[in-house]
Chains A and B, each alone.
Chain A
Amino acid sequence: MLILTRRVGESVVIGDEIVLTVVEVRGDSVRLGIEAPRSVDVHREEVYRELQAANKRAASPADEAIENLKALIKPKDDQPAD
């Protein structure tokens, strides 16, 4: 990991198009401003990891689970008699 020291108002340039600026420092928190092209997504790391994990857990549910979901939303009086 590259470690750089910046003061409030100073910036870091990443690649050709991404600029990270220290906007404010207050206690333990640092407010960062990020300029990046629309093609580059920027996320807080823990949110990013959580979303990756959530999507992976959601991927390809079992057929039985899907049938149970359908039953959940189907009103009982619409069900055909067996």
Chain B
Amino acid sequence: MSSMTATVDPGADADNVFDFVGPILGFEGERSFALSPLEDSGTLWSLESTTNPDLRFVLAAPAPFFPDYAPTVEENAVAPLASAGDELTVLVILTVDGPIRTATANLLAPVILALGNRRAMQLVLPDDTNSVRAPIAPTGGH
């Protein structure tokens, strides 16, 4: 199983263009996206199509929102990334189409990024227990 602990440095070069080796489902023609930080902590990221600037996704590092999220990633599943043992980064796509308290993260199909060779993919996890729309906002006081 590949290591999933790499974090993306928000201070890295803003020209971080990733080549998607597989489709983002629903956007099959889009294979080139630029990843840039939305803020300084490395939690929120913008993934913008290099061919269609109107298309972008907001991605999040899952740990601050889902500390127990530990997707099982088969080596075969990420073989197209050809990351050769380099650490892979897992970010999840956020959906915010209403108030923030209804914002959700797609834990079933995270985006896996190989920082070394700038390849990426949206990986559909075989495990049915991860939600495609997991709420991210706190639901009450802790």
**Which A residues form the contact surface with B (CB < 8 A)?**
38-39, 41, 43, 47-48, 50-62, 65-66, 68-74
Closest residue on chain A to residue B27 by CB atoms: A55
Could you say which residues of chain B place their CB within 8 Å of the CB of A38? 76, 79-80
Contact pick for B26, options A39, A52, A60, CB 8 Å: A52
Check B96 for interface membership: any CB of A closer than 8 A: yes
Chain B binding surface SS class: loop
Closest residue on chain B to residue A51 by CB atoms: B25
Given contacts A51-B108, A51-B124, A73-B43, contact A58 B94 (CB under 8 A): yes
Q: What's the least CB distance linking A62 to chain B, in Å?
A: 8
Q: How large is the interface on B (under 10, 10 to 19, 20 to 34, 35 or more residues)?
A: 35 or more
Inter-chain CA distance A50–B136, complex, in Å, is 19
Inter-chain CA distance A51–B109, complex, in Å, is 8
Inter-chain CA distance A59–B103, complex, in Å, is 13
* Contact present for A51 and B26 (CB under 8 Å): yes
* Contact present for B24 and A69 (CB under 8 Å): no
Inter-chain CA distance A9–B24, complex, in Å, is 34
Q: Ordered nearest first, which 9 A-B pairs have the shortest CB separation?
A: A52-B26, A65-B96, A58-B95, A55-B26, A68-B100, A61-B96, A51-B25, A52-B25, A56-B26
* Contact present for A70 and B100 (CB under 8 Å): no
Check B113 for interface membership: any CB of A closer than 8 A: no
Q: Which of B8-16, B56-64, B83-91 lies at the interface?
A: B56-64
* Contact present for B22 and A59 (CB under 8 Å): no
Could you say which residues of chain A place their CB within 8 Å of the CB of B137? 72
Inter-chain CA distance A48–B124, complex, in Å, is 9
Could you say which residues of chain A place their CB within 8 Å of the CB of B39? 70, 73-74
